[in-house]
Each structure stands twice: as C-alpha cells, then as structure tokens.
Amino acid sequence: EESKHTQLSRCLTTTDLIALGVGSTLGAGVYVLTGSVARDKAGPSIVLSFLIAAVASVMAGLCYAEFGSRVPKAGSAYVYSYITLGELWAFVIGWNLILEYVIGKYLYLGTSSVARAWSENVDALIGGKFRDFSLTYLKMETPGFAEYPDFFAFAIILVLTGVLCFGVKESAMFSKIFTGVNILIILFVIVAGSLTADINNWYITAQDIQNQYNNLGTGGFFPYGVSGMMSGAATCFFGFVGFDIIATTGEEVKNPQRSIPISIVFSLLIVFVAYFGISIVLTLMVPYYMMDTGAPLPMAFAGVGWSWAVYPLAVGATCALSSSLMGGLFPMPRIVYAMAQDGLIFRFLAKINKRFKTPLIATLLSGLLAGIMVLLFDLEDLVDMMSIGTLLAYTLVAMCVLILRYQPEKEDSKSGPRISMADFNELDSSETLLSRLINPKLNFPTLKSGKLVYSCVMVIGKNVDVTNNDLYFLICFLNMWYSLLAFVLCAALVNFSHTSYSLAMVLCLISSALIILLTIVILRQPQSTKKLTFTVPFVPILPILSSVCNIYLMCELSSGTWIPFSVWMVIGLLIYGGYGFRNSTERVRGREAPVVRSNSFK
C-alpha cells in the first residue's frame, strides 16, 4: 500500500504516458539517424539493423515494464536498484541518470544537446541570423566552451522548466501536441516517399558505385557485410533510448500497475514502426552511398523533385526536438526527488509544492543547471559518456528482475522478515549439493534458493547468511557477476580483430561456458508465483540476453569515453561518502537494507 500514497498528483493516463515515451524517444534522430547509418555502416540492411535494435530495446523495456507494475514509484532505475541491490548501487545509477538527463544522450535525446539542436534548427529557418550575430559579437574562444553562448537554447529550457513547475498534466499536454505533429510528419514521409521508391536501390552492384564512393561498401543489400549490419544495429539501439521516462512517473499515474507496462510496450512499438518505415522508404528513394548524413530526408525529396517537402520536414524536426526536450527535462527532477527523499542527496530537493504538486525546487535547479550547460559549454565530446550511464541502468534493471523473480515472499513483523517452516526444513535436508543445484525439491522460492540466484548474479552478496559449509563454498565459487563475464565476452568480440585469435577464442569460450553454467543453475531454481499486472516472459533467458546486449554496446564505446565517466563517478562517490552515507533513510532508521524491501511489494 505504501506505493499508493504520494505527495505528487496522480493525473496521468496511459495516453499521456505513451505521448511522453514516444516524444522522448522519437526525437530529431529519426530525421538524421537513418541517413548516417545507411551511408557509412549498413546500407539497405539498416532495415534489419533497426529490427535487431528494436528487439534489444524491447528486452530492456519489458524489464522496466515489470518493475513499473511491481514498484509504481518515482525514480525509475534508481528505485528499482535501491529495492533490489541497496543504496550504493542505487546512488550509482541515480547519479548517472542525472548526468544523462542534464547533458544529453546519444542522438539529441538529452536536455542540453536537444536545446542546442532546437536552437540551431529554428535559427536555420530564419537564415542563420542568430548564429551570425552571436559569432560576430559574442564569440568565445576558450577550449571546452561553446563557440558562442546560446541564449536562445537557454531561454527555451527556462520556458519549459516553467511549464513543468505548473504541473505534470500541463507538461503531458505539451508533449502530446508536439508528438502528434511529429507522428503526422513521419507518416507523410513514409507515404510520400513510397510513391517514388525504386527497388533497384537495394540491388546496386559494385560497378554502379561511382569512383568517389569506392570506400562506401560493395553494393547490394549488405554493402558492408553482416558485421556492418550489426554495427549499424549498435548505433540504431540508441535511437530507442528514452522510453525510461515512463518509469519515472510511477507516482503521478492514475493506474501505474496497468498504464506503465502498456505505455512502455506501445511506445517502443510506435518508435520501431517509425524508424522501420523511414529506413525502408529512404533506402528505396536514394542509393545508400549518395545519402546526405546531415539532412538525408530533405535531400532525398529534393532528388526526386519534391523540394517543397523541406518545409513540413522542418516543422516535424522542430516538433520532435520540442517533445524530446520535454522528455529530457521531465524525468530529471523526479530522479533528484527520489534520491533526496531517501537522503542520498540533499533532502530539501524532495520538497513538493502544495499548490502544483510538483518537486518545485528540484525542477528549478535541474532546469537551471541544464540551461547553464547549454549556454556555455561544448557538449559534443560528452555525449557518448552519457550512453554508459543509460546502458548501465538497463543492465542493472534486467539483473534486478532476475533476482526478484527468484526471491520468496516475505512477511513483515516487528522483528523483521520471518523464515518459513519450508525454509527450515530445506536447510536441514540431507539432499546432496548437486541436487540442490540442479534439482531442488521445493517448487516455490525460499530464502536459500533466492540467495543462490543472487550469488549467481552479483559479485558481492549482501549479508548472505548460510548455515551449510557446502552451500557457502558453492556461493563463493559461483560468486561471479554476469556483467563481469559478459564484459569479458563482449570485449573479446569487439576487439576480435585487434587481439590474438587464440586469446580471443579462449576468453569467449570460457566466459560463454560460465554464463551458460550459471544460467542452468538459475533455471533449475523455483520462481516466485506472485501475481503481477505484467511479468517479463522467458525468465531468466530474456534478462540475461538484455544484459549481454547492453554490455556489448558499452564495449563498442571508445576508451576515451570512460575517462570523463570515471571523473563524474568519483565526484558522485565523494558526495555519497560525505553526505549520503551518513544521512540516508536506512542509516537514520538504524538498520541495514535487506536484499528485498518486502514492504514495497505488498
């Protein structure tokens, strides 16, 4: 019942959530992403790249959907990690989510990068006069800073921050209007483009490619091979990032257990149809090697004599950026609010305005911080860094689903959780160690089976109490993290051509074998029978595949990306050590956080 009580206003419907999810995810990238990936990485096979990326995104989305029905509270991945793994992991995720929403995600999905793109897009419609004026009178020549202070972008962030302060319903209405216009423009592109499609553009031969394009593949449907299609899928995956905004609205939805899972699934479906349709039409309109990477759609329509189409495309891009900007600003205060409420950051940020029922201080400070970033700094070099935080959040949410599905239902009493008689009998049973691993006698989860699954997934168990030496030895042996194994596997795959073939093969085989072994152990354990509005299918296979996909994408990022990420983490951990550790709610209450805070699931 705890999750039903909130100081925020419960006024959002399923339609509102779908609009927020689609608006945040389907930003300006839909007008740019297809051209750049098709030309330089995948060619016409970008159609399959988007399909693979959509499958990977749906796996992550389903994990969020189950948690949305299980724990309908503000905070998204931060809250999910807190409940399952404790406050340290939760702080790590929350700290990265703040940075992700402040500066920006890949491909125009974050607040500051979207605001600057929005400013540049509107400035282009008036002939670049604002840019020319700024470069003439306001130019900054300091390394790390922007060419000029973008007051236009700063102003739009402050305006939208004001909209967010007035209430969540007004913010949702804003998002619905701009998302609706964006969808209409995308439908126009798909329908109009199909009228000029030429199937021969999927069957281009090497001889057809002109001399100046010799480095752009060999023609055909797979001009860069299957590896190019997979590399394109890794890039396309980030085009689906943004649906997690839905999970931050848990305390502002009328029926969160039903609306959140439905909204996440439908949002991803709509986004996939949009990307899939545009990728088909664009690659049929123009040979992939002739696409413009900056403005592929206007150039494609100009090439078939429809130059007038640039105007609706400009309107669509502006609307996409507007809804995406709202999608970046909307969840940030809610992450801050959830962390402040738990005492991990300053508690005054959790204050709710009684009139508007919004986290007013958190909203104002978040908007001001994003505005300052976009006003002064060059954000391009930081964009990939944000992707690490996003992928880390996706990975931990998948692991949390895996852990919680195998935990027993606990009952609260004044003395804490109770061990059932079945647990007691199992602890005293004489079954062999191997039998406990692959053929447990009970068909429902117990404390011991839950700890076993937890140990298979995480590196460090949290206060795992065992009374059996064999089980303790087993937990120590299986105390290997799926992420660690998957990281070794994915790093070997990504750097296969740059390392010794024998070494890469050995690493792949060993890590794959251990992952399969731990998966078999988990498969044999009994799952929880608790009825939820939505549950992830094919557990534990789907969460494990989702984690591996996310870690593979992290390995695809450049090594230079991890340096600023590490600096940001050091700053966050200093804040946690200096304030959050001593002032957290769990610390104040004087008790340790259990593996599962059962009062959150009743």
What is the full DSSP assignment across 328-359?
HHTHHHHHHHHHHHTTSS-GGGG---TTT-S-
Q: What is the pLDDT of residue 270?
A: 94
Predicted pLDDT at 471: 39
| Cβ burial, residue 583 (10 Å; 0-12/13-18/19+) | middle
Residue 281 has a pLDDT of 94
3-class SS at 33? helix
The answer to whether residues 288 and 109 touch, using CB atoms and an 8 Å cutoff, is no
How many beta carbons lie within 10 A of that of residue 204, not counting itself? 21
If we measure between CA atoms, which residue out of 540, 542, 385 comes closest to residue 457?
Answer: 540
- In angstroms, the CA 507 to CA 503 distance is 6
Distance from the Cα of residue 355 to its chain's centroid? 32
Place of tokens 């998204």: 76
Mean pLDDT, consecutive 10-residue stretches, the chain (602 aa), reads 62 90 81 83 92 90 87 82 84 85 52 63 70 82 76 83 83 87 93 91 81 74 88 83 85 86 93 94 90 81 85 83 79 88 89 85 86 71 65 84 76 39 46 59 65 56 37 39 60 60 73 78 79 85 85 73 80 89 79 42 34
Rounded Cα distance, 253 and 14, in Å: 8
Half-sphere exposure of 213 (CA within 13 A, CB side): 21
- Measured CA to CA, the distance from residue 326 to residue 164 in angstroms comes to 9
Q: Provide φ and ψ at 55, rounded to 5°.
A: -65, -45
Report the distance separating Cα 401 and Cα 405, nearest Å. 6
Query: Do 548 and 489 contact (CB within 8 A), yes or no?
Result: yes
Residues 352/8, Cβ–Cβ less than 8 Å: yes
pLDDT at 384: 58
Amino acid identity of residue 374, one-letter, is V
CA distance linking residue 592 with residue 139, whole number of Å = 54
Q: What does the alpha-carbon distance between residue 75 and residue 79 come to, in Å, rounded to a whole number?
A: 5
The Cα 319–Cα 455 span in angstroms is 47
Can you give the length of the chain in residues? Answer: 602
State CA 340 to chain mean position distance: 22
Please provide the DSSP assignment of 207-240 as one string: GGS-GGGTTS--SSS-TTHHHHHHHHHHHHHGGG
Helix, strand, coil abundance in the chain, percent, nearest 5: 70, 0, 30
pLDDT for 465 equals: 38
* 297: DSSP letter: H
How many other CB atoms sit within 10 Å of the CB of residue 110? 34
Helix axis angle, 111-125 relative to 129-137, nearest 10°? 110
- DSSP letter, residue 381: G
- List of long-range contacts for 117-125, beta carbons under 8 Å, 24+ apart: 117/28, 117/321, 118/153, 118/156, 118/318, 118/321, 118/322, 118/325, 119/150, 119/152, 119/153, 119/156, 121/28, 121/314, 121/317, 121/318, 121/321, 122/152, 122/318, 123/152, 124/314, 125/314, 125/318
Can you tell me the distance from the alpha carbon of 396 to that of 324, in angstroms, rounded to the nearest whole number?
Answer: 25
12 three-class SS? strand
Tokens encoding 92: 């790590």
The identity of residue 459, as a single letter, is V
Helix (H, G, I), strand (E, B) or coil at 499: coil
pTM, whole model, 2 decimals? 0.79
Please, are residues 193 and 279 in contact by the beta-carbon 8 Å criterion? no
Nearest to 486 by CA among 551, 414, 538: 551
Multiple choice CATH, 14-405, 3.10.20.30, 2.40.30.10, 1.20.1740.10, 3.90.180.10:
1.20.1740.10
Residue 328's pLDDT is 75
> Within 13 Å, how many C-alpha atoms sit on residue 95's CB side?
22
Which one, of 378, 369, 320, lies nearest residue 161 by Cα? 369
* Residue 22: predicted pLDDT: 92
CA angle (73, 256, 601) in 5-degree steps: 55
Closest CA to 63 of 77, 52, 51, 73: 77
Q: What pLDDT was estimated at residue 400?
A: 83
**Residue 247 to residues 19, 25, 250, 261, 465, Cα–Cα distance (Å):** 13, 13, 6, 9, 33
* Residue 267 CB burial class (10 angstroms; 0-12, 13-18, ≥19): buried
